[in-house]
Amino acid sequence: MTHLLTLDGQLRLVGAALIAMGALHLVLPRLIGWPADLAGTTLLTRQVSYVHLFFIALTCVLLGLLPLLLTRDLLAGGRLGTALLAAQTLFWGIRWIFEFAVFSPELWRGDRLRTAAHAALSVLWTWVTAVFTCALVTALGS
């Protein structure tokens, strides 16, 4: 259990969380009411929305597989591993910023479930970004 508290363990947990996030996208449209919201839009808008959702899910899974399966390689300090860690840190850091700078509080304020989701996602993106940042610093020091 203490292995989960190491950087290796945290990277693997982040990988598993990102894969789970990708899988969540399979049911996300129903959870947030997309079928009803998109019903009045054009066929192109509906299809682009679902295709983008698919690729976001795939991206989460693929970005999660890297730390889950290649933890040691990422932390070894090589050019490729360090570049991948830098990219992940930037990507998830920007996602963290978007949680606060892009999504309006009107979307969640006053709704207990959406407020809980916002809080959980804020914690998730903070943790993911912090773990990748720590891994990047470690890889740069190798």
Which pLDDT does position 55 carry in this prediction? Answer: 97
> In tens digits, what is the pLDDT along the chain, a chain of 142 residues?
777 789 999 999 999 999 999 999 999 999 889 999 999 999 999 999 999 999 999 999 999 999 999 999 999 999 999 999 999 999 999 999 999 999 999 998 999 998 999 999 999 999 999 999 999 999 999 8
Closest CA to 134 of 92, 100, 80, 94: 92
pTM: 0.91
Question: What is the number of other CB atoms lying within 10 angstroms of the CB of residue 21?
Answer: 20
Stated as kind and residue range, the H or E segment containing 108 is none
Distances (CA, A) of 17 to 10, 60, 67, 81, 126: 10, 9, 11, 20, 13
